[in-house]
Structure 1
Amino acid sequence: MDQLHFDMQWPRDNLYLSCFSHEVMNYRYHWHPDEYELGILLHGTQEFCCNTETNVFQEDDIVLIDPGSGHASFSREANTCALVLHFSADAFKQFLKKETRFSFHNCHTTTETRDAIPYRWLRFYAAQILDAAIQGGPYAQLTAKASMEMILSILCRHFQPEAVRSLPEQDEQHAKLVHRLLNYIDQHYNEKLSLEELSQFAQYNRTYISTLFKNTVGVNFYEYLTRVRFQNALIELATTDKNLTEIALDNGFSDLKSFNKRFRETLHRSPSEYRAQLLPGHVLGDSTRRYLTSSDVLVQKKLKEYLNWSKERA
């Protein structure tokens, strides 16, 4: 199948890019430790939660998510679809001091800013990347790279990035240790897992593991553990008939009250309210996506619209 999912990389420029178009489904909570996510809603209505903030996006709305920010999206109607770019945090490396990265706090559209020129250019260059990938040929990578660099330039010039502390680069030994710790959490998140148990597993003292975790993952151990628990509980809520207490306990929450509290903090509703809002046939269980194809009518319509905008300005 001609799925719209393309990966490109230019290592010499610290630039790695994943471009795809997909149908927005049920909430799947996730985060990207070292990538930005630029999302453009092509059609429909999307509820988008990032950290503790919730926005409702309409057609042509744009949002940029910083690395490490927990987020999830939810379709409010059928045929809600989006164009998404994931690109490396190191793409801005040449403009920053060591161990810092850019944070873009104000890069998302509102009703008043949706048609502002910088956002129109972002849509144009994102469409140009997807179109080049679809068309292929010897110059597709050249077009995609030039378009991505223009996106980086627009973000820097128009959205007032703030330089914030980034995660330090780790040597191979530390990287392997962190990988072991994350794997251990993935295997035991539904148990009464503590920092003390994690330090015993790694055979390092508690303070060292706590500091290493915060410095390399970006959040402390308990926040990361809660994210993993919530991520898995959210999937079970959408794909099983378990009652809420079972879901909470089976995914490591101490009780239904703590699960409800996290749910409201993140998605601003109760688990039962969310379950009642799920659209039949619009539920995916894990990290897979329902990619659109190049022949999709909505995709072709929006690509044409975004690409023709620059011609209309000429």
Structure 2
Amino acid sequence: MLTDLQAARAWMQFPGSRCDLEVSHETQAIVRESGWRRIDRTEAAIEDIMISRWEDSREASSHEATTPEDRYFVGIALTTTRAKLTRDRQIVFDGTMPAGTLYVSAPSRSLAAQFQSPCAFVHVLISADHFPAQLPTTETLDDLVLLRDPLAAELVKALVEHGDAADREFAHCIGQTLAMHLARLEPPRARVNALPKWRLRRVERYIADHFERCISLSELAHVAGLSRMHFAAQFRAATGYRPREYLLNHRVEHAKMLLATTERPLTEIALAVGFSTQAHFSTVFRRISGQPPARWRLANKGERPELEAPPRRRAASDRDWIAAAA
């Protein structure tokens, strides 16, 4: 579910190829990787913050890499993709990784990644010196996955908007800010169990069958067979989203399909997917997709957006956690 690949590219699109020709590889602040997390550059060994980017247009790809012994690895998704992250046959993450998702690996940690759709990431290698060992945060930065991290997304957006024209000092400042942000993150005080798959499937089917009308939290909790409080917490742990957010994203995905494949007016589409007014529909659509519906329609006319499944959450150990940043 959530923003499809084209919509995500609309608000985090890489600069055109002309800049690539004008700026040499050695002066780029954002290095292009020759392979996933592979930087062919000697300066990488001495810089305390190294920023690179990785794009893969293939529908499926597999990779594996080990974080240097003195660095933390940070990845920020520029487009929505489906990913499976594993370590030693244990699943760290498996599901939809929306644009803006942040994930971190600690020093000397290997990680295997399987992508089931095209992907684009900014990768940041940050010296461990930016994370003093006495900080309690350092223990939680291993296998940290934040499905929503607005600050990280905005930092990377500012960086890629400059593209290859970004200078080293500006990029380094962005990296330092990201490091400080990670050092100040607070892990959840209490671990919440994710909604069991069979309950989640029931809720997903119910939303898919009734998304065009108002669905209350109490109604969804009843479908799941839980109290409102327990359902809301477990649903967010399983998907990374509040039930209301999930419903709105589901409506927007269906609206995209109607926008791309029909000539129906915006007001009619808004009502068809459950919004009471075109104004509310446009506001929510723009917040989720980065573009107003009319502009999105012009850019995607004739294409059929694929409805994506919600993210899945599986922890590899008691220290591994996946959270949705507020």
TM-score, scaled relative to structure 1: 0.46
Query: Whose helix proportion is higher, 1 or 2?
Result: 1
TM-score, scaled relative to structure 2: 0.45
